[in-house]
Amino acid sequence: MKIYGDLKSGNCLKVKWVCDALASPYQWVAVDTMKGDTRTPEFLALNPAGQVPVVVLDDGRPLAQSNAIIRYLARDSDLLPRDPYLAARMDEWLFWEQYSHEPYIAVCRYQMLYLGKPAAARDPAKVERGHAALALMDRHLADSRFLVGPDCSLADVALLAYSRVAPEGGFALDGYPAVRRWIADAERALGVAPLA
Protein backbone atom coordinates (compact mmCIF):
# COMPACT_ATOMS: atom_id res chain seq x y z
CA MET A 1 0.00 0.00 0.00
CA LYS A 2 1.13 3.55 -0.72
CA ILE A 3 0.20 6.52 1.43
CA TYR A 4 0.41 9.86 -0.35
CA GLY A 5 0.72 12.51 2.31
CA ASP A 6 2.41 15.41 4.06
CA LEU A 7 3.90 14.69 7.50
CA LYS A 8 2.88 18.19 8.69
CA SER A 9 -0.78 17.35 8.05
CA GLY A 10 -2.76 15.91 10.92
CA ASN A 11 -5.11 14.26 8.45
CA CYS A 12 -2.17 12.44 6.89
CA LEU A 13 -0.68 11.51 10.26
CA LYS A 14 -3.94 9.79 11.21
CA VAL A 15 -3.36 7.29 8.41
CA LYS A 16 0.31 6.79 9.28
CA TRP A 17 -0.48 6.30 12.97
CA VAL A 18 -3.14 3.67 12.27
CA CYS A 19 -0.81 1.76 9.94
CA ASP A 20 2.00 1.96 12.48
CA ALA A 21 -0.24 0.89 15.39
CA LEU A 22 -1.50 -2.10 13.40
CA ALA A 23 1.94 -2.93 11.92
CA SER A 24 0.47 -2.61 8.42
CA PRO A 25 3.18 -2.29 5.78
CA TYR A 26 3.13 0.79 3.58
CA GLN A 27 5.26 3.02 1.41
CA TRP A 28 5.09 6.72 2.29
CA VAL A 29 4.98 8.99 -0.76
CA ALA A 30 5.76 12.55 0.28
CA VAL A 31 3.45 15.16 -1.22
CA ASP A 32 4.19 18.88 -0.88
CA THR A 33 0.84 20.63 -1.01
CA MET A 34 2.49 24.07 -0.95
CA LYS A 35 4.36 23.26 -4.18
CA GLY A 36 1.24 22.14 -6.05
CA ASP A 37 1.92 18.40 -5.87
CA THR A 38 -1.81 17.74 -5.37
CA ARG A 39 -2.68 19.56 -8.60
CA THR A 40 -0.73 17.38 -11.01
CA PRO A 41 -2.69 15.21 -13.48
CA GLU A 42 -1.17 12.10 -11.86
CA PHE A 43 -2.34 13.06 -8.38
CA LEU A 44 -5.77 14.22 -9.55
CA ALA A 45 -6.22 10.82 -11.19
CA LEU A 46 -5.95 9.32 -7.67
CA ASN A 47 -8.09 11.96 -5.95
CA PRO A 48 -9.97 14.45 -8.14
CA ALA A 49 -10.50 16.62 -5.03
CA GLY A 50 -6.75 17.27 -4.98
CA GLN A 51 -6.34 16.58 -1.26
CA VAL A 52 -4.08 14.47 0.90
CA PRO A 53 -4.08 11.86 2.25
CA VAL A 54 -4.75 9.30 -0.42
CA VAL A 55 -3.90 5.64 -0.14
CA VAL A 56 -3.46 3.29 -3.04
CA LEU A 57 -4.28 -0.21 -1.90
CA ASP A 58 -2.23 -3.23 -2.96
CA ASP A 59 -4.76 -3.97 -5.71
CA GLY A 60 -4.38 -0.44 -7.12
CA ARG A 61 -7.63 1.06 -5.87
CA PRO A 62 -7.32 4.58 -4.40
CA LEU A 63 -9.12 5.78 -1.28
CA ALA A 64 -9.27 9.37 0.01
CA GLN A 65 -10.54 11.25 3.07
CA SER A 66 -8.60 10.54 6.24
CA ASN A 67 -11.45 9.23 8.37
CA ALA A 68 -12.72 6.94 5.60
CA ILE A 69 -9.18 5.63 5.16
CA ILE A 70 -8.58 4.91 8.84
CA ARG A 71 -12.04 3.35 9.15
CA TYR A 72 -11.13 0.99 6.28
CA LEU A 73 -7.64 0.21 7.59
CA ALA A 74 -8.81 -0.50 11.14
CA ARG A 75 -11.61 -2.91 10.25
CA ASP A 76 -11.30 -6.06 12.38
CA SER A 77 -8.86 -4.33 14.77
CA ASP A 78 -9.08 -3.23 18.39
CA LEU A 79 -9.21 0.41 17.22
CA LEU A 80 -12.82 -0.23 16.21
CA PRO A 81 -15.18 -0.99 19.11
CA ARG A 82 -16.91 -4.36 18.76
CA ASP A 83 -20.09 -3.09 20.41
CA PRO A 84 -22.28 -1.54 17.67
CA TYR A 85 -23.36 1.34 19.89
CA LEU A 86 -19.77 2.21 20.84
CA ALA A 87 -18.80 1.94 17.16
CA ALA A 88 -21.56 4.42 16.33
CA ARG A 89 -20.34 6.73 19.13
CA MET A 90 -16.87 6.51 17.58
CA ASP A 91 -18.33 7.51 14.21
CA GLU A 92 -20.12 10.37 15.95
CA TRP A 93 -16.73 11.74 17.05
CA LEU A 94 -15.25 11.16 13.56
CA PHE A 95 -17.99 13.24 11.95
CA TRP A 96 -17.75 15.88 14.68
CA GLU A 97 -14.00 16.12 14.20
CA GLN A 98 -14.35 16.99 10.53
CA TYR A 99 -17.22 19.43 11.04
CA SER A 100 -16.63 21.08 14.42
CA HIS A 101 -12.94 20.69 15.25
CA GLU A 102 -10.67 20.47 12.20
CA PRO A 103 -12.18 23.46 10.31
CA TYR A 104 -11.22 25.74 13.19
CA ILE A 105 -8.13 24.38 14.91
CA ALA A 106 -6.44 23.00 11.80
CA VAL A 107 -7.29 26.05 9.68
CA CYS A 108 -5.85 28.45 12.26
CA ARG A 109 -2.75 26.23 12.46
CA TYR A 110 -2.45 26.24 8.66
CA GLN A 111 -2.60 30.03 8.56
CA MET A 112 0.07 30.40 11.23
CA LEU A 113 2.36 27.44 10.43
CA TYR A 114 2.16 27.28 6.65
CA LEU A 115 1.30 30.87 5.75
CA GLY A 116 3.28 32.57 8.54
CA LYS A 117 0.40 34.74 9.75
CA PRO A 118 0.40 36.04 13.33
CA ALA A 119 -2.18 34.79 15.84
CA ALA A 120 -3.85 38.21 15.73
CA ALA A 121 -4.68 37.68 12.04
CA ARG A 122 -6.85 34.62 12.73
CA ASP A 123 -10.59 34.85 12.05
CA PRO A 124 -12.19 35.54 15.47
CA ALA A 125 -15.11 33.22 14.65
CA LYS A 126 -12.71 30.36 13.93
CA VAL A 127 -10.85 31.05 17.17
CA GLU A 128 -14.12 31.03 19.13
CA ARG A 129 -15.24 27.77 17.52
CA GLY A 130 -11.82 26.19 18.09
CA HIS A 131 -11.96 26.99 21.79
CA ALA A 132 -15.54 25.70 21.93
CA ALA A 133 -14.38 22.39 20.44
CA LEU A 134 -11.54 22.04 22.94
CA ALA A 135 -13.89 22.93 25.81
CA LEU A 136 -16.40 20.28 24.74
CA MET A 137 -13.64 17.68 24.58
CA ASP A 138 -12.29 18.75 27.96
CA ARG A 139 -15.69 18.36 29.61
CA HIS A 140 -16.16 14.91 28.08
CA LEU A 141 -12.64 13.71 28.89
CA ALA A 142 -12.88 14.84 32.51
CA ASP A 143 -14.92 11.66 33.09
CA SER A 144 -13.45 9.36 30.43
CA ARG A 145 -9.90 8.20 29.72
CA PHE A 146 -10.59 7.97 25.99
CA LEU A 147 -13.33 9.42 23.82
CA VAL A 148 -15.34 6.20 23.49
CA GLY A 149 -15.31 3.57 26.17
CA PRO A 150 -12.26 2.45 28.13
CA ASP A 151 -9.97 1.84 25.16
CA CYS A 152 -8.28 3.93 22.49
CA SER A 153 -10.27 3.97 19.24
CA LEU A 154 -10.26 5.73 15.90
CA ALA A 155 -12.07 8.61 17.59
CA ASP A 156 -8.90 9.24 19.58
CA VAL A 157 -6.72 8.94 16.47
CA ALA A 158 -8.85 11.47 14.60
CA LEU A 159 -9.01 14.04 17.40
CA LEU A 160 -5.40 13.60 18.51
CA ALA A 161 -4.05 14.68 15.12
CA TYR A 162 -4.88 18.37 15.45
CA SER A 163 -5.54 18.65 19.19
CA ARG A 164 -1.92 17.91 20.07
CA VAL A 165 -0.70 20.68 17.75
CA ALA A 166 -3.44 23.17 18.61
CA PRO A 167 -0.85 25.57 20.13
CA GLU A 168 0.67 25.90 16.64
CA GLY A 169 -2.65 27.50 15.68
CA GLY A 170 -2.65 29.81 18.68
CA PHE A 171 -4.79 27.59 20.94
CA ALA A 172 -3.00 27.25 24.28
CA LEU A 173 -3.96 24.02 26.03
CA ASP A 174 -3.30 25.29 29.57
CA GLY A 175 -7.02 25.72 30.23
CA TYR A 176 -7.87 22.21 29.05
CA PRO A 177 -6.32 19.81 31.60
CA ALA A 178 -8.40 16.79 30.59
CA VAL A 179 -7.41 17.29 26.94
CA ARG A 180 -3.73 17.52 27.93
CA ARG A 181 -3.98 14.30 29.97
CA TRP A 182 -5.83 12.55 27.13
CA ILE A 183 -3.23 13.61 24.56
CA ALA A 184 -0.52 11.88 26.62
CA ASP A 185 -2.68 8.77 27.10
CA ALA A 186 -3.61 8.57 23.40
CA GLU A 187 0.00 9.07 22.30
CA ARG A 188 1.09 6.22 24.58
CA ALA A 189 -1.73 3.94 23.42
CA LEU A 190 -0.90 4.55 19.76
CA GLY A 191 2.90 4.55 20.14
CA VAL A 192 3.11 8.15 18.92
CA ALA A 193 6.12 10.09 20.16
CA PRO A 194 5.15 13.14 22.23
CA LEU A 195 5.91 16.54 20.75
CA ALA A 196 9.17 18.06 21.90
- Cα–Cα dist 90/6, whole Å: 25
- Report percent pLDDT > 90 for the chain: 98
Q: Are residues 105 and 159 in the same domain?
A: yes
- Say whether both 60 and 153 belong to one domain: no
Q: Which strand (E) or helix (H) includes residue 178?
A: helix 177-190
**62 with 56: CB under 8 angstroms?**
yes
DSSP state of 151: S
Identify whether the C-beta of residue 10 lies closer than 8 Å to the C-beta of residue 162: yes
Q: Are residues 90 and 186 both part of a single domain?
A: yes
**Domain count within the chain:** 2
Smallest CA-to-CA distance from 79 within 26, 24, 134 is with: 24
Final residue belonging to a domain, choices 12, 40, 73: 73
Confidence (pTM): 0.96
68 and 102 share a domain? no
Give the whole-angstrom CA distance, residue 166 versus residue 172: 7
Is residue 174 classed exposed, middle or buried when 0-12, 13-18 and 19+ CB atoms within 10 A define those classes? exposed
Q: Is residue 58 part of a domain?
A: yes
Residue where a domain stops, chosen among 43, 73, 103:
73
> Edge-to-edge strands of the sheet including 27-30?
27-30, 2-5, 54-56, 62-64
| 196 has a pLDDT exceeding 90 | no
Residues 16, 97 within the same domain:
no
117 within a domain of the structure (yes/no): yes
Is the confidence at residue 149, as pLDDT, over 90?
no
Domain of residue 43, residue span:
2-73
Residues 37-96 have pLDDT tens digits of 999 999 999 999 999 999 999 999 999 999 999 999 999 999 999 999 999 999 999 999
CA–CA dist 103, 132 (Å, integer):
12
CATH number at residue 45: 3.40.30.10
